[in-house]
C-alpha cells in the first residue's frame, strides 16, 4: 500500500517557492503526494510533477469565522479521503486547524509536522487577534509530533508562553537558498554612478514598503541617478495591503510588479533595502546575499538571522527611517565597503543557508518520526 503525505499551506506559492525539492524526494521514494492549498497557478504547476491538488481556502491575516469553519471542514474531508501517514502544515491557519483536524480524525496513525514560517499581521499589531492566535497555538501544537521554527526569536516566544513542548520542537533556520542558481556576481567592475537599490516583497505595510519609498525620495535628493526598484505582488485580500496607486504617489520608485524570476533583478542590483517588520527568515535576503548583495533592514525577528550587523549589511532599530536613509547613503557612496559586505553576505549564505543542507534537515526530521523517505 502506497504511503501518502499531505502538504498544507495558505497558497501554492508557499510550496513552489521553497518546497519542491522536498516534494520530489517523497515522489522519488514512492509516496503519493497531496497538496491542500488554494487552486492557483503555482499549485497547478505542482500537479505537473505528479502531485494531487485538493483545494482548500484559508483566510489570511485575521479571523474570518465562516471561512475558518469552511477550511476546517475541507481539511476534514481531505484527511478522511487520503488517510495520510504524514501531514506537514505551513502558516498559522493550516497549522492550527490542520493539527486539530488530523489528530481528531486519524489519532496516532498520522505523524504531524508543523513549520512556523513567521509571525505576521496578528503578532505585529498585537491585541485580541494575537491573543486568539496564541490560544490556538497552545491548544493545537502539543498535539503535533514536531514543531519547526525558522528563527530563534519565534522559538523563544512559543517556549516562554508554553505553546509548545520543548521535546517536540527544533529550529531549522529558513527554507534555504539555491546556491547554484543564485551565484555570486562580481560587481567590482560595475559603473557606480547609477546605483540600483531594490526591495522584494508583497505590497503590505508590514513589509516596509512605505519606508522603502520614503528612503528612495530622500536619497534621490542628493543622489538623483540612484534607482529604487520594487518587485512584489499586490495582496488586496490581506488586511495590511497596499495598492499599487499608493506606491506610485512616491517619486523615484519604479514598481516592477510580481516577477516570476528575481535573479535578473538581483544581478543588476547594488543594495537590498529590506525594512520588513517581522519575518521567518526572509528568502529575499538570502537570495540577495548569495549573489553578493549587502542588506539594510530592521533589527527584527527573522531578519536578524539573515543579516550580520556591520558585516553583511546593517541592522537598524525598528521604525528608525532616518537611520535607514543614513546607512543607504553611506553604502551607496562607499563602493568598497558595499563590495566587502556583499562578499561576506555571499559566504554566509553558502555556509549557513544552502538549500540542500536545509532539505536534509527536514528529511532527517521525518525519519526521526519513523517516516520512510530518502
* Per-domain boundaries in the chain: 4-176+354-368, 196-352
- pLDDT at site 127: 74
Cell of 39: 487552486
Dump pLDDT digits (tens) for 235-274.
Answer: 888 888 999 988 888 888 999 999 999 999 999 999 999 9
- pLDDT at site 218: 96
Domains 4-176+354-368 and 196-352 share a fold: yes
Cβ atoms within 10 Å of 266's Cβ, excluding its own: 22
Question: Mean pLDDT throughout 336-363?
Answer: 97
Contact of 9 with 94, CB cutoff 8 Å: yes
* Bigger pLDDT: 326 vs 123: 326
- Cβ neighbours of residue 266 under 8 Å, at least 6 residues apart? 182, 185, 198, 287, 288, 291, 293
- pLDDT at site 64: 75
- pLDDT at site 358: 96
* Bigger pLDDT: 1 vs 246: 246
DSSP 3-state helix, strand, coil percentages of the chain (rounded to 5)? 45, 15, 35
Residue 1 has pLDDT above 70, yes or no: no
- Cβ neighbours of residue 119 under 8 Å, at least 6 residues apart? 92, 154, 157, 278, 301
The CA angle 279-93-128, to the nearest 5 degrees, is 80
Residue 284 has pLDDT above 90, yes or no: yes
Return phi, psi of residue 12, to 5°. Answer: -60, -35
Contact of 143 with 172, CB cutoff 8 Å: no
Question: Mean pLDDT throughout 330-349?
Answer: 97
Rounded to the nearest integer, the mean pLDDT of the chain is: 94
Dump pLDDT digits (tens) for 61-113.
Answer: 666 788 999 999 999 999 999 999 999 999 999 999 999 999 999 999 999 99
Is the backbone of residue 69 left (phi > 0), alpha (psi -120 to 50) or beta? alpha
Strand bridging mode 111-116 / 271-274:
unpaired
Can you identify the CATH homologous superfamily of domain 4-176+354-368?
A: Glycogen Phosphorylase B; (3.40.50.2000)
Question: Mean pLDDT throughout 22-45?
Answer: 96
Question: Mean pLDDT throughout 191-213?
Answer: 93
Residue 60 has pLDDT above 80, yes or no: no
Burial grade of 317 (CB within 10 A; 0-12, 13-18, 19 or more): exposed
Fold of 196-352: Rossmann fold (3.40.50)
- pLDDT at site 236: 84
Question: Mean pLDDT throughout 313-342?
Answer: 97
User: Structure pTM?
Assistant: 0.94
Residue 124 has pLDDT above 90, yes or no: no
- pLDDT at site 317: 98
Cell of 195: 546605483
- pLDDT at site 190: 84
Question: Mean pLDDT throughout 332-338?
Answer: 96
Amino acid at each position: 500500500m502506497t504511503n501518502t503525505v499531505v502538504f498544507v499551506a495558505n497558497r501554492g506559492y508557499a510550496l513552489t517557492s521553497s518546497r519542491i525539492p522536498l516534494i520530489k524526494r517523497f515522489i522519488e521514494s514512492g509516496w503519493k503526494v497531496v497538496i491542500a492549498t488554494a487552486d492557483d497557478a503555482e499549485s497547478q504547476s505542482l500537479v505537473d510533477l505528479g502531485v494531487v491538488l485538493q483545494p482548500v481556502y484559508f483566510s489570511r491575516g485575521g479571523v474570518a469565522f465562516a471561512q475558518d469553519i469552511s477550511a476546517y471542514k475541507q481539511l476534514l474531508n481531505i484527511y478522511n479521503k487520503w488517510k495520510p501517514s504524514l501531514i506537514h502544515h505551513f502558516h498559522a491557519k493550516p497549522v492550527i486547524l490542520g493539527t486539530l483536524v488530523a489528530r481528531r480524525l486519524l489519532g496516532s496513525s498520522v505523524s504531524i509536522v508543523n513549520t512556523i514560517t513567521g509571525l505576521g499581521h496578528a503578532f505585529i499589531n498585537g491585541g485580541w487577534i494575537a491573543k486568539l492566535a496564541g490560544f490556538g497555538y497552545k491548544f493545537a501544537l502539543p498535539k503535533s509530533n514536531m514543531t519547526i521554527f525558522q528563527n530563534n526569536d519565534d522559538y523563544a516566544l512559543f517556549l516562554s508562553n508554553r505553546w509548545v513542548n520543548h521535546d517536540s520542537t527544533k529550529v531549522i533556520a529558513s527554507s534555504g537558498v539555491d546556491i547554484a542558481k543564485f551565484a555570486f556576481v562580481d560587481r567590482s567592475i560595475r559603473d557606480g554612478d547609477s546605483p540600483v537599490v531594490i526591495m522584494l516583497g508583497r505590497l503590505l505595510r508590514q513589509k516596509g514598503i512605505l519606508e522603502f519609498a520614503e528612503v528612495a525620495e530622500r536619497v534621490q535628493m542628493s543622489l538623483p541617478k540612484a534607482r529604487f526598484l520594487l518587485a512584489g505582488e499586490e495582496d488586496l485580500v490581506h488586511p495590511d495591503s497596499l495598492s499599487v496607486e499608493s506606491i506610485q504617489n512616491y517619486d523615484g520608485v519604479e514598481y516592477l510588479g510580481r516577477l516570476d524570476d528575481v535573479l535578473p533583478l538581483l544581478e543588476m542590483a547594488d543594495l537590498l533595502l529590506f525594512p520588513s517588520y517581522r519575518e521567518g527568515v526572509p528568502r529575499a535576503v538570502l537570495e540577495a546575499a548569495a549573489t553578493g548583495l549587502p542588506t539594510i533592514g530592521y533589527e527584527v525577528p527573522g531578519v536578524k538571522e539573515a543579516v550580520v550587523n556591520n558585516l553583511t549589511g546593517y541592522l537598524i532599530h525598528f521604525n528608525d527611517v532616518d537611520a535607514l536613509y543614513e546607512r543607504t547613503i553611506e553604502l551607496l557612496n562607499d563602493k568598497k565597503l558595499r563590495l566587502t559586505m556583499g562578499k561576506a553576505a555571499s559566504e554566509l549564505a553558502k555556509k549557513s543557508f544552502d538549500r540542500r543542507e536545509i532539505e536534509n534537515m527536514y528529511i532527517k526530521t521525518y525519519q526521526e518520526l519513523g517516516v520512510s523517505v530518502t
